[in-house]
Amino acid sequence: MKEKIYITRKLPASVVKKLEGEFYIEMWGQEEEAIPREVLLEKVKDAQAVLCMLTETIDEEVLDAAPNLKVISNMAVGYNNIDVEAATKRQIIVTNTPGVLTETTADLTFALMMATARRLVEASDYLRTGKWGTWSPMQLTGMDIHGATLGIIGFGRIGQAVAKRAAGFGMNILYYNRSQKPEVEKETGARFAALNDVLRESDFISILLPYSEEVHHLISDKELRLMKKTAILINTARGGIVDEEALYDALKHEMIWAAGLDVFEKEPINPRHPLLTLPNVVTLPHIGSASIATRMKMAELAVDNVYNVLVSAGRVKRVN
* Positions marked active-site: 238, 267, 286
Q: How many CB atoms lie within 10 A of CB 288?
A: 22
Who's near 267: CB < 8 A, 6+ residues apart? 54, 55, 239, 286
Of the candidates 232, 264, 75, 77, which has an alpha carbon nearest to the alpha carbon of residue 158?
Answer: 77
Q: How many CB atoms lie within 10 A of CB 179?
A: 7
Report d(CA 252, CA 275) in Å as an integer. Answer: 9
For residue 280, the Cα-to-chain-centroid distance in whole angstroms is 21
